[in-house]
């Protein structure tokens, strides 16, 4: 189980056409290029995939496109992100039928004050009981209305036979999460950002779901390789570089900047879906200057 989650995953972006429709052809091309770059797999329908901007039908078609175009060795996690247990189960079952290997479950947040550890444990457990593939809980309070998962709750989730891991995109919690589940060696901890990837990998994490892999997958795979080989001198240097690149892209411009960087590197990025706005021409120009300064837009580094 853990081997399927060991490596770098792209929280894959959903490209759109100029008139706002999902660009399934562009998505398929992205998946094929990512496979050649050595990515372990994908998180479909996460925040980078603009989950909340897609209809349920579009979500399932996006997932199908990813599954149909991935390499057979790659793993697909699907973001099952809904407010009610009933809809999460209904859509989770559909995602299983369409080839998802794992589901990632973000906590409901509309009734934030009622989202206690007991309520969230019941939610995660009910969904995990009902679906046919393993589940990971997803700790990302910035995308869940401020609802985070405590290390104590994650440890309780680890006792469920069909909750097999956690993706942590929060700030400053990776060490506490790893300590909380240290007696559960089969429970997988994954970094949800370049910002906590190095910590996760050096303390026993399995891999990472890294936004930077959408734009520049090869360098994220290289950092993983260096860490697995315990080549820490080179890993520290590359990690510092990746943190700077990540800050230049997603740190300031979010999804719009990630997509702009994808376009600059020959991938299908496009504009985000409204109400999110694309970068302005001035912002794109400034981003391109930064990426060229990092040596990321040289023809020799592209892998078309």
Active site residues per annotation = 167
CB 24 within 8 A of CB 61: yes
Pairing of strands 188-191, 102-105: unpaired
Say which DSSP state 66 is in: H
Structure tokens at 61: 């078609």
Cα–Cα distance, 188 to 138 (Å, whole number):
12
Cα–Cα distance, 228 to 137 (Å, whole number):
24
172 burial level (CB within 10 Å; 0-12, 13-18, 19+):
exposed
CB 138 within 8 A of CB 123: no
Residues 6+ apart with CB under 8 A from 246: 193, 194, 195, 211, 212
Cα–Cα distance, 178 to 205 (Å, whole number):
8
Residue 85, SS3?
Answer: helix
Residues 6+ apart with CB under 8 A from 37: 217, 218, 221, 303
Burial 209-235 (b: 16+ CB within 10 A, else e): bbbbbbbbbbbbbbbbbbbeeeeeeeb
Cα–Cα distance, 123 to 100 (Å, whole number):
20
């Amino acid at each position: 189980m853990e081997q399927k989650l060991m490596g770098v995953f792209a929280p894959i972006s959903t490209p759109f056409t100029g008139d706002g429709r999902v660009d399934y052809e562009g998505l398929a091309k992205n998946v094929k290029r990512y496979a050649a770059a050595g990515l372990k797999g994908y998180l479909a329908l996460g925040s980078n995939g603009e989950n909340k901007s897609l209809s349920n039908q579009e979500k399932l078609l996006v997932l199908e496109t990813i599954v149909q175009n991935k390499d057979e060795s790659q793993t697909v996690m699907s973001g099952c992100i809904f407010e009610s247990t009933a809809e999460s189960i209904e859509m989770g079952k559909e995602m299983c039928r369409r080839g998802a290997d794992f589901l990632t479950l973000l906590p409901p947040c509309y009734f934030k004050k009622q989202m206690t550890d007991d309520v969230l444990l019941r939610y995660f457990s009910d969904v995990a009981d009902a679906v046919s593939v393993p589940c990971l809980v997803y700790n990302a309070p910035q995308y869940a209305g401020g609802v985070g998962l405590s290390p104590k709750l994650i440890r309780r989730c680890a006792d469920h036979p069909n909750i097999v891991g956690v993706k942590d995109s929060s700030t400053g919690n990776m060490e506490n999460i790893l300590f909380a589940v240290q007696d559960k060696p089969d429970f997988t901890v994954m970094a949800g950002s370049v910002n906590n990837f190095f910590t996760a990998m050096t303390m026993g994490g399995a891999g990472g779901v890294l936004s930077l892999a959408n734009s520049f997958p090869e360098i994220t795979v290289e950092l993983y390789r260096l860490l697995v080989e315990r080549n820490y001198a080179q890993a520290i240097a590359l990690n510092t570089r990746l943190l700077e690149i990540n800050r230049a892209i997603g740190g300031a411009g979010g999804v719009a900047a990630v997509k702009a960087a994808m376009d600059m590197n020959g991938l299908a990025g496009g504009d985000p879906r409204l109400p999110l706005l694309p970068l302005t021409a001035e912002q794109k120009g400034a981003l391109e200057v930064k990426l060229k300064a990092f040596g990321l837009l040289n023809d020799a580094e592209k892998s078309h």
